[in-house]
A and B are shown apart, each in its own frame.
Chain A
Amino acid sequence: MPNPKSAIAMARTFRQLEPLGTRAHPLVFGVVLFLTSELMLFAAMFAAYYNLRSNSSVWPPAGVRLDLTESTVGTFFLALSSVAVLFVGRSLNRRHAQQTRLWLATTIALGVAFLGIAFHGWSKANFRIDSNAFGSLFYMMTGVHAAHVFVGLILLAALLLGVREQAFVGDRRAGAEGIMYYWHFVFVVWVGIWATLYLVR
């Protein structure tokens, strides 16, 4: 019979033996679960979109103008941003602070560019949230997504401010990992939204 260990010693064993080894770091695991739930949130909106679309004979409603070119540019920026964050991860692994900051700044700049294009798109659109069901869906989907981008930018900025030696290991490294997953998620969901609103329509 093995010696029963005290809970404190046991917890310490966890931290030492299984930080990122056989079991995932709780923060990373939690972020993945959170993103699953987020995916369902967007899925509900996609479902609503295609449900209403299938019920309507004219879709999008007559007179709705959508700027495919501009939104494609925005999508391109967000894609680049999602690629840039990969390099953030790589430089974190190499424990290279200067490089990490550089890539983080690039990621943030591309994200801000995306948001700017999104705002410009809203400001010149010829329909509003209260115009028709398409307008409601359009602004809800792009709005909720833009809010996600905004939150992501704040998290990335916080990461940028916190890049020091400690950021490369342990819980903080896991936090950075979570933010990167989140950022990829924001991009992947955008591809779906963009394809739905601008390509499939």
Chain B
Amino acid sequence: MSGVSTRDLPVPALARTGLLSWIATTDHKRIGIMYMVTAFAFFFVAGIMAMLIRAQLAQPNQSIVTSHTYSQLFTLHGTAMIFFFVVPFAFGLANFLVPLQIGAPDMAFPRLNAFTYWIFLLGALTVMSGAATNGGAAASGWFAYVPLSGIKISSGLGQDFWILGILMASISSILTSINLITTVFIYRAPGMTMWRIPIFTWEMVATALLVLMAFPALTADLGMLLIDRRFGGHFFDPAAGGSAVLYQHLFWFFGHPEVYIMILPYFGVVTEIVSTFSRKPVFGYVGMVLAAFAIAGLSMGVWAHHMFTTGAVSDPFFSAVSFLIAVPTGIKFFNWIGTMWRGSISLTTPMLFAVGFLLNFLNGGITGVMVASPPIDFHAEDSYFLVSHFHYVIGGGSLFAIFAALFFWFPKIFGVKLNEYWGKVCFAFEFIGFNLTFFPMYFLGVMGMPRRVYTYPNLPGWGSLNALATLGAAIMAVGVIIFVVNVIVSAIRRAPVPDDPWGGFTLEWATTSPPPAHNFDRLPPIRSERPVFDLRQSDLGSQRKR
């Protein structure tokens, strides 16, 4: 309950092995690994769903799966990618890295930490097990709009399982966030002032604050949905004083910050990687941090831009703030470019994925500014234009950063370096496949293809563009298989790898790979945001003097 006490510390947790030691662990590194492995398992599940969706849409008027199955597929695909992959992966990575980056022995509340993992897993499995109920899994989309998700239309248990599972995942996220912020503020090593903590840690603080502010709205919203469904409530029933738009207000009050919860951690990942492989400090460190908090703050005030086409919102405030959120995001872009400027850049696999992130995210960001404009929303909202836009942000952005993070921190986490050559092949497949999948969707959207359709009429150009997208998805799938084979082969070969194979800057590279249970035997002096870099430079300097 009260954090790490000195009594607990000397226990050689790494010496303990076996399944039970993982189940009972409170070690932040193990919990982080469990989060990331679980998240990746859900990535595979959701990825297979995406393949089925693309197969169904490859040609007009197909019926590879039934329409009801298709609705379940895209509901679970969205739910799993958002709630069980992108967000928990970030928390897993943060669990592993944040204590290391600030020189702490563990998270502030280790047992709470373990609890958050298990309740997240339980929630995820609950949602998925809806597929085994009579009537199938939830089939009303990842935002489960009422009245479609109400008891009259979605009478199956699958929808209730979905609600309960998401509630558990949201409680898990809230508690993890409390843990993370407390760790950063209370458990920093001596010398590690707030203006010296690495950008990834800063971005996690901003993310965690957003979770604390945004997720309770989802909790309340789903609670109301559950009351409406099972206890005869009327929150969303216009006939009894309720309002269907209320659900959307509360959902997007959570939902838009959620977008930034899914991207801010990966801004941090990319910042660390771009800085490390450019051999330069982060350009505009303070600007980077302030931009993260500006994004977090502004993102709380833009939710209604998801509802322009409902006609329930005609306040220009939401549009204006949605435009303005591009300013701090732009600052981050300029800072990344500034970091690369006059660096000594090595295009390793993580750096390639980070550059891929920059290009894809830029694409998604620019179209994001376009859909912040309500009139353009009147055309693009709920069309494939929008599908492409948010996949460029979350798929081209977060997913690419996740690959970058995996290649970058794999040696740190497992003491195994992934094969660089096949990593670059994987990047090529992912980058080409991704753009082939989603770029045609911009055109499909402008041409009038609505979102979430089971199939579509054979209008000129629709078939060929969709076929192209399906081909791209297949290429991405091959890239993922290459990645998995790379992990397995590299793990079997176990080529010897130094503790710090990349020449890292931040504190996690000051310990062994993988780190010991208590994280650090010795801490270098912390005089800047790059203590390991400073140490290396002073070592180099003293060598030259000799």
Binding site for B on A (CB under 8 A): 1-2, 4-8, 10-15, 23-27, 29-30, 33-34, 36-38, 40-41, 43-45, 47-48, 51-52, 55-56, 59, 61, 129-137, 140, 144, 171, 174-175
User: A13 — which chain B residues lie within 8 A by C-beta?
Assistant: 190
Q: Cβ of B108 < 8 Å from any Cβ of A?
A: yes
Closest to B538 in A: A1
User: B233 — which chain A residues lie within 8 A by C-beta?
Assistant: 129-130, 133, 136, 140
User: B315 — which chain A residues lie within 8 A by C-beta?
Assistant: none
Q: Cβ of B243 < 8 Å from any Cβ of A?
A: yes
Q: Cβ of B105 < 8 Å from any Cβ of A?
A: yes
From A4, A129, A136, contact of B523 by CB (8 A): A4
B231 touches A130 (CB 8 A): yes
| Cα of A11 to Cα of B241 in the assembled complex, Å | 56
A40 touches B216 (CB 8 A): yes
B216 touches A48 (CB 8 A): no
Closest to A33 in B: B178
- CB pairs A–B below 8 angstroms (14 shown): A4-B522, A8-B105, A8-B518, A10-B189, A26-B2, A27-B1, A34-B178, A37-B178, A37-B212, A40-B217, A47-B253, A55-B241, A129-B227, A129-B233
A140 touches B223 (CB 8 A): yes
| Cα of A73 to Cα of B64 in the assembled complex, Å | 65
Q: Cβ of B249 < 8 Å from any Cβ of A?
A: yes
B9 touches A11 (CB 8 A): yes
List B141-186 residues whose CB lies under 8 Å from chain A.
174, 177-179, 181-182, 185-186
B109 touches A26 (CB 8 A): yes
User: B524 — which chain A residues lie within 8 A by C-beta?
Assistant: 4
User: A44 — which chain B residues lie within 8 A by C-beta?
Assistant: 216-217, 219-221, 250, 253
B212 touches A36 (CB 8 A): yes
B241 touches A171 (CB 8 A): no
User: A140 — which chain B residues lie within 8 A by C-beta?
Assistant: 223-224, 227, 233, 235
User: B178 — which chain A residues lie within 8 A by C-beta?
Assistant: 30, 33-34, 37
A51 touches B243 (CB 8 A): yes
B6 touches A7 (CB 8 A): no
From B179, B240, B520, contact of A30 by CB (8 A): B179
Chain B min CB distance to A31 (Å): 9
B234 touches A11 (CB 8 A): no
A30 touches B108 (CB 8 A): yes
Closest to A29 in B: B182
Q: Cβ of B10 < 8 Å from any Cβ of A?
A: yes
Chief secondary structure at chain A's binding surface: helix
Q: Cβ of B525 < 8 Å from any Cβ of A?
A: yes
From A10, A26, A61, A134, contact of B190 by CB (8 A): A10
Chain B min CB distance to A13 (Å): 7
Closest to A45 in B: B220
Closest to B219 in A: A41
Closest to A140 in B: B227
User: A56 — which chain B residues lie within 8 A by C-beta?
Assistant: 241
User: A24 — which chain B residues lie within 8 A by C-beta?
Assistant: 185-186
Chain B min CB distance to A57 (Å): 10
Leading 6 A-B pairs by shortest Cβ distance: A130-B232, A133-B241, A44-B220, A171-B2, A41-B216, A136-B233
A52 touches B220 (CB 8 A): no
- Which of A12, A44, A135, A140 gathers the greatest number of chain B CB atoms within 10 Å? A44
Beyond A11-B9, A175-B2, 5 additional contacts (C-beta under 8 Å) are A6-B521, A24-B186, A33-B181, A130-B231, A133-B240
Q: Cβ of B519 < 8 Å from any Cβ of A?
A: yes
Closest to A48 in B: B246
User: A129 — which chain B residues lie within 8 A by C-beta?
Assistant: 227, 231-233
Chain A min CB distance to B356 (Å): 35
Q: Cβ of B228 < 8 Å from any Cβ of A?
A: yes
In the complex with contacts A8-B9, A133-B237, A48-B220 CB distance below 8 A: yes
